Amino acid sequence: MFIAGIAILRAANSGYVVTTDLEKAYYVDAILDIVDLVLWFLGALSVLTWTIIFAKAHAFWRDRRNSRRFLAKFSSAASLADVVPRLANLESSTLASVGDAGLEEMQSLATNGALPLDAKDQREMLNHALRQQVRLEQARLEAGMGVLASVGSTSPFIGLFGTVWGIMHALKSISISGSAGLDVVAGPIGEALIATAMGIAAAIPAVLAYNYFLSKVRLSVTAMEHFSDKFMHLAIKSGFGER
């Protein structure tokens, strides 16, 4: 098909007019390869977008449920000594990860007696461990959002490229066939316009999902930072850092 298309293009450049239906069919097939490739690529981007959307929606829903259970157990503890038994058998969540990081840092400071740290230094190290875990959880929550942003910003232009390519070759088919009838231009132009529609259809859910998940990440980060403050308050209340 590719060789036949090149032959027809050379014939057109030399002044030969394509007249037979077979030659027209070979030419149309040859010029639509790029448009078909664009459509398949946009379809793959759309599938990828919806896969990320469903996966992240489920992840945020599960994290919200588990974080609520964790926070309810944590808030009922009078001191850090009551935290560990109350949090047993709870599923993982962002708040639980921050709490675990704080408990591990406290245990590390308690067992490492070789470091001559005063109460202020120990509390600063605990606060640093909590904040670092918040940033790690934020990065985990943002995983995949870069793909949504890329699809949302580039899909319309990819579709537009397919449209321009299809229309350009539809105009060439008119000059080659010597006819401007619908049987010559309807197929290429129709498929070219579908490329634009596919690009927009892939971009809209990606942009909406990106903005929605971005707001969810910000809310989660705010909740983790607030929990870090509560953890520090409970640690100080429990006598952490006192010698």
Domain ranges in the chain are 32-237
pLDDT(155) > 60: yes
**CA 154 vs CA 4, 14, 65, 149, 160: distances in Å:** 33, 39, 34, 9, 10
With bands split at pLDDT 50, 70 and 90, how would you rate the model's confidence at 111?
Answer: confident
Phi and psi based region of residue 105 (left: phi greater than 0; alpha: psi -120 to 50; beta: remaining):
alpha
Q: Which tokens hold the place of 226?
A: 């607030």
- Between CA 196 and CA 162 the distance in angstroms is 7
The pLDDT of residue 188 is 67
Query: In terms of Cα–Cα distance, which of 158, 143, 188 is closest to 44?
Result: 158
SS3 at position 160: helix
Of the chain, the percentage scoring pLDDT greater than 70 comes to 74
Query: In terms of Cα–Cα distance, which of 224, 209, 176, 167 is closest to 26?
Result: 176
- Between CA 88 and CA 39 the distance in angstroms is 51
The pLDDT of residue 90 is 72
The lowest-confidence range among 83-92, 111-120, 198-207 is 111-120
Distance of CA 92 to the CA centre of its chain: 22
The pLDDT of residue 72 is 85
pLDDT(32) > 60: no
DSSP labels for 199-233?
HHHHHHHHHHHHHHHHHHHHHHHHHHHHHHHHHHH
- Between CA 140 and CA 217 the distance in angstroms is 10
Q: Which tokens hold the place of 144?
A: 């995949």
Could you tell me what percentage of the chain is helix, strand and coil, using 3-state DSSP and rounding each to the nearest 5? 85, 0, 15
177-195 pLDDT, tens digit each:
666 566 666 666 777 788 8
pLDDT(8) > 50: no
Find where tokens 């639980």 sit. Answer: 96
First to last CA, the chain: 84
41-98 pLDDT, tens digit each:
999 999 999 999 999 999 999 999 988 988 888 887 777 777 777 676 777 888 888 8
The pLDDT of residue 15 is 41
Average pLDDT over residues 118-122: 75
Query: Of 30 and 108, which is predicted with more confidence?
Result: 108
- Between CA 61 and CA 92 the distance in angstroms is 13
With bands split at pLDDT 50, 70 and 90, how would you rate the model's confidence at 104?
Answer: confident
Query: Of 220 and 163, which is predicted with more confidence?
Result: 220
